[in-house]
Chain A
């Protein structure tokens, strides 16, 4: 099975940086996804890591360490519109199923 842990809530100031950590325990790990979900809306894909290292996409970056079962999502130059829930999800090898964490609610304050 898979056990996905991430913090419940984080608060940061506009323009700052926030790092959301995610740890996972899975058999046959084959990739880590991050999704963003605004209240009342669909989750939208942010990033996918399957190899160790950092993937950068504009203001958002995602990091993976397979040996440590650890990932983080880094949000830079925070904007009010970044207030949302961020979902970490792990995928098993040879499987199409994603196991999700409970999500981290990020609140950006002026």
Chain B
């Protein structure tokens, strides 16, 4: 595997479900990001981890919970989501403490029923 991978690619869940999104980067980067992409809207930065420490939590509701166990892996745990949370969730990574170019994964298309 090369680059940034995300699983699953598609997820449908009910509002009472608990699920997790996974991201893995194979680029030796030390910063990882979660973005939300809704139709016709700018990418919204949700969380940033630099050197495995969370350095940004962009006023995201607590029903989204990130986890970064090491510099190559990033998770987004989902619990009691709302239909308006349906979107494409993109993971990205970068080097230079977050100052370099960001490489994106293919995203997880999430639908909340």
Question: Interface residues, chain A, CB within 8 Å of chain B?
Answer: 4, 8, 33, 35, 40-45, 48, 87, 89, 96-103
User: A100 to chain B: which residues have CB within 8 Å?
Assistant: 42-43
Number of interface residues of B (CB under 8 A): 23
Minimal Cβ-Cβ distance residue in A for B45: A97
> Cβ of B103 and Cβ of A45 under 8 Å apart?
yes
Query: How many A-B pairs with Cβ below 8 Å?
Result: 46
Give B29 Cβ to nearest chain A Cβ, in Å.
11
User: Which 3 residue pairs of A and B lie closest in terms of their CB atoms, listed nearest first?
Assistant: A96-B98, A42-B104, A100-B43
Contact mask B94-112 → A, CB, 8 Å, 1/0? 1001110111111101000
User: A4 to chain B: which residues have CB within 8 Å?
Assistant: 42
Q: Is there a chain A Cβ closer than 8 Å to B74's Cβ?
A: no
